[in-house]
């Protein structure tokens, strides 16, 4: 395989990925971020975590 063949395959893969991304955006819209807070390494702080701890049944302790 030559260097040109490898470059061509990379270009074809990038085009396929872009086409797939456009199809997904057509169906779901492109308003969604690439990553969500679940994907990022952020500590859970605030009322939601406190509420969760208060609602946990005792047998989960």
Q: Residue 46: its pLDDT value, please?
A: 65
Report the predicted TM-score, pTM, of the whole model to 2 decimal places.
0.39
Residue in 9, 52, 26 with CA at minimum distance from that of residue 60: 52
Residue in 13, 15, 10, 18 with CA at minimum distance from that of residue 1: 10
Q: For every one of its 61 residues, what pLDDT tens digit does the chain have, with 9 covering 90 and above?
A: 577 777 888 889 999 999 998 998 888 887 767 777 777 666 656 678 788 888 888 887 6
Q: Residue 44: its pLDDT value, please?
A: 58
Give residue limits of the domains in the chain.
Answer: 3-55
Q: How many residues make up the chain in this entry?
A: 61
Q: Residue 17: its pLDDT value, please?
A: 93
Q: Residue 43: its pLDDT value, please?
A: 64
CA atoms within 13 A on the CB side of 21: 11
């Amino acid at each position: 395989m030559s260097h040109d063949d490898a470059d061509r395959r990379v270009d074809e893969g990038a085009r396929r990925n872009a086409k797939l991304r456009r199809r997904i955006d057509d169906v779901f819209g492109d308003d969604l971020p690439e990553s969500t807070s679940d994907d990022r390494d952020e500590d859970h702080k605030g009322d939601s975590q406190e509420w969760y701890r208060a609602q946990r049944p005792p047998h989960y302790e």
